[in-house]
Amino acid sequence: MFNYDQYLRLNKFPLIWCSGCGDGIVLKSMLRAIHKLGINKDEMCMVSGIGCSSRLTGYVDFNTLHTTHGRALTFATGIKMANPKLHVVVVTGDGDATAIGGNHYIHAARRNIDITVILFNNFIYGMTGGQVSPTTPKGKRASTAPYGNFENAFNISGLAQAAGASYVARATVYNAVQLEKYIQRAIEKKGFSLVEVLSPCPTAYGRRNREGTPVDMILHQKENSIPVSKAESMTPEELEGKIITGVLVDTERPECRTEYQRLIDHLKEEK
């Protein structure tokens, strides 16, 4: 049995997350991944924005920073540039990272700065009570989409891929083993890495959209997940409503802080 306690601030429990929320599964997968990597807690810096998932930083025994809405990646960029020895992980949600923080998200990926983003995608603004988000699927209901969402949804992983991330993977909380593996690989990766994890929100999303119990929502993930390798040979019609999981990008690109260090070293040599 894995000892989670060694990474938790147990005196801050209970968690604020609702029962049935998927975020706890992400938290545990993340801690197992960090443990496997053998990272010293003093060298781990976890940064979050605002929202349900962003409250995670209060519960983990690392250097933790709970920032303003959408801005976690900007603070994280400053930390990584100022002290590249730190492992910097950003914990964020769909609204935090791709609505209010969308600009920072694409630019952090473009820079390919060595930061890992674990993006909890629950299709909704949970903490504020269930408003429509940039990833709410078309037609689904939210408190501010009472007749069904009439907008198109973002493909979060696709966005990071297009912007230049080194590593992009999508997982579900149903497949926590796979999720842990992706997070481990993402933190290991030198460059901007994203793990988009679909984390059900039974309270603010599921109930409003009649998606059943929390267990039903997780089983829905199981039944509708398609590995990326299989998805390649499927038509858009066949993929409608499916969750494409797997590693979407795993490549080597020059990393932002490393490139800056090369500049510093080069200027030193010139003296």
Partner 1 sequence: MQEEKNIRVLTGNEACAEGALAAGMRFYAGYPITPSSEVAEVLAVELPKIGGVFIQMEDEIASIGAIIGGSLAGVKSMTATSGPGFSLMQENIGFAAMAEVPCVIVNVMRGGPSTGLPTLPAQGDVMQARWGTHGDHPIIALAPFSVAETFALTVRAFNLSEKYRTPVILLLDEIIGHVNEKVNMPDTTALEIIDRIPPAVAPDKYLPYEHTECGVPPMASFGQGYRFHVTGLAHDETGFPTNSGREIGRLIERLHRKIEQNRDDIVEVDAFMMDDAETALVSFGSTARSARHAVRLAREAGKKVGLLRLKTLWPFADKEIRAYAGQIKNWVVAEMNLGQMAHEVEWALAGAAPVKRLNKVDGDPISPAEILQALPE
Residue 83 in contact with partner 1, rule: CB under 8 A: yes
> What φ, ψ does residue 60 adopt, rounded to 5°?
-110, 140
Residue 81 in contact with partner 1, rule: CB under 8 A: yes
- If the CB atoms of residues 57 and 221 are measured against partner 1, the closer one turns out to be 57
Residue 192 in contact with partner 1, rule: CB under 8 A: no
Binds partner 1 (CB under 8 A): choice among 35, 36, 66, 230: 66
Q: Taking the CB of residue 148, how many other CB atoms lie within 10 A of it? A: 14
- If the CB atoms of residues 43 and 238 are measured against partner 1, the closer one turns out to be 43
Residue 259 in contact with partner 1, rule: CB under 8 A: no
Contact call for residues 116 and 97 (beta carbons, < 8 A): no
Q: What is the CA radius of gyration of the chain?
A: 18
* Helix axes 156-163 and 102-111, enclosed angle (nearest 10): 40
Contact map string, positions 87 to 106, toward partner 1, x by CB under 8 A: ----------------xx--
Q: Taking the CB of residue 117, how many other CB atoms lie within 10 A of it? A: 27
Residues 126-185 that bind partner 1 (CB under 8 A): none
**DSSP code of residue 18:** P
Residue 193 in contact with partner 1, rule: CB under 8 A: no
Kindly give the pairing relationship between strand 63-66 and strand 44-48. Answer: parallel
Binds partner 1 (CB under 8 A): choice among 17, 75, 154, 174: 75
Residue of 258, 260, 255 whose CA lies nearest to 108? 255
Interface with partner 1 (CB under 8 A): 9, 12, 41-43, 45, 47, 57-58, 61-68, 71, 73-83, 85-86, 103-104, 107, 260, 263-264, 267-268
